[in-house]
Amino acid sequence: MDYGDSTRSVKAVGRESIPGAPVAPVPVPASAYHLSADEAAPLDTYGRASNPTWRGLESGLAELEGATWALTFGSGMGAISAVLRVLAMPQTTLVVPADGYYQVRRYAAEYLAPRGVTVIEATAEQMCEAAGRADVVLAETPVNPTLDVVDLHRLAAICRSRGATLVVDNTAATPFGVQPLSLGADLVVASATKALSGHSDLLAGYVAGCHPELMAKIERDRLLAGPVLGAFEAWLALRSLGSAGLRIDRQCRNAQAVALMLRDHPAVRSVRYPGLPDDPSHAVAVEQMRRFGGLVAVELADAAAVHALVQRSELLVAATSFGGLHTCVDRRARWGDPVGDGFARIALGIEDTDDIVADIERALT
């Protein structure tokens, strides 16, 4: 049955049809499990190896990503660094986004490069060309925060032709926006801290894929390095997954409406949103995205204009991170992103569309 995204979202929370079993998921915060005298290994033995609450979340995430297997981690960086430790061996060439999430390229530069990995930083536009020289490509789309869209179909074909592994960071789009595995990616990595859990109250990450051997190596790294997700965070993320379709739908609708308003506003120098018909990434976005995401990139006059926007608004929250209930504004130059001083990422929340459009429009004038 081909269900809609909110239905898939609800189904991802799981449904044990055992009479008397709770409808809601239950956290299992155990670190140790009973062993048997015959020394046969039960499914769960020790909390760093496995946890029943992880399994509920993992099967929901695998379902949403169209994967056969998902592994949860204590944060998005926990997931990404585990994948890079497994794939980026000494003597290999790794491509990471030059314009994407900055801590990924910092990890590559500070940890992998000194261990003999050749690290190439490429912008979304340079990704396909750089992939022609790579063993491992980590791409991000839409790239956070500038929102260029990478043509995953084309990138996957280049990677496949030279036997390179393609990993896609699906944090910004979420599986409700794009399903990279169906477009040819080998692995999806993501932060579930953002829109998937959606309440700004936990950190989590995951890896999803269909190659059993590769996924087993990543699971082994999680066991040995130990960047595991706490049982309570897993539980909160799982119960939040049920409303993810609904929340992300609203965030995307709000982003489209706010982007349209900003495009015509005299205080705005430029705006990027893949859903705008005249956006440079729109054509690729229409081909591969089911929704255009909850992030809008806007360029105002200067840093003071971004701060004034937040101060005059009644709804905007100044915060980094995105995908939560509140609409957040983040001036990215503060974190060293290669963008102008007046560049702000607006991460739409789930407020009523008319309210958030009117509030931002008013606060800009």
Cα-only R_g, the chain: 21
**268 burial type by CB count under 10 A (0-12 exposed, 13-18 middle, 19+ buried):** middle
The nearer residue to ligand PLP, 140 or 351, going by C-beta atoms, is: 140
| Minimum CB–partner distance for residue 62 and ligand PLP (Å) | 19
CA distance 349 to 337: 23
The stretch among 28-36, 164-172, 343-351, 355-363 that binds ligand PLP (CB under 6 A) is: 164-172
**3: helix, strand or coil:** coil
Among 193, 251, 288, 313, binds ligand PLP (CB under 6 A): 193
Query: Nearer to ligand PLP by C-beta: 298 or 364?
Result: 298
Burial profile 282-316: b = 16 or more Cβ within 10 angstroms, e = fewer: bebbeebbebbbbbbbbbbeebebbebbbeebebb
Q: At 9, which amino acid appears?
A: S
171 near ligand PLP, rule: CB under 6 A: yes
In this chain, which stretch among 187-195, 298-306, 310-318, 334-342 interacts with ligand PLP, using CB under 6 A? 187-195
Angle, vertex CA 294, rays to CA 242 and CA 270, nearest 5: 180
146 scored as a contact of ligand PLP (CB under 6 A):
no
169 binds ligand PLP (CB under 6 A): yes
CB closer to ligand PLP out of 101 and 176: 101
Instruction: Return d(Cα 219, Cα 232) in angstroms, integer.
Output: 20
| Distance in Å, CB of 143 to ligand PLP, minimum | 8
The number of residues that bind ligand PLP (CB under 6 A) is 14
Nearer to ligand PLP, 205 or 294 (CB): 205
Contact segment (CB under 6 A) with ligand PLP among 32-40, 85-93, 166-174, 287-295 equals 166-174
List the structure tokens of 209. 């894929």
Nearer to ligand PLP, 140 or 299 (CB): 140
Is 86 among the residues that bind ligand PLP (CB under 6 A)?
A: no
Quick check: 236 binds ligand PLP (CB under 6 A)?
A: no
Give CA–CA dist 9/202, Å, rounded.
19
172 makes contact with ligand PLP (CB under 6 A): yes
Establish if 145 lies at the interface with ligand PLP (CB under 6 A). Answer: no
DSSP alpha helix (H) spans, the chain: 5-12, 52-65, 76-87, 102-107, 127-131, 152-161, 212-225, 231-241, 244-263, 282-288, 303-312, 353-364
Query: Is 140 among the residues that bind ligand PLP (CB under 6 A)?
Result: yes
Give Cα separations from 248 to 9, 65, 193 (angstroms). Answer: 11, 15, 14
For position 144 contacting ligand PLP by CB under 6 A, the verdict is yes
Closer of 3 and 232 to ligand PLP (Cβ): 232
What are the residues binding ligand PLP (CB under 6 A)? 75-77, 101, 140, 144, 169, 171-172, 191, 193-194, 203, 205
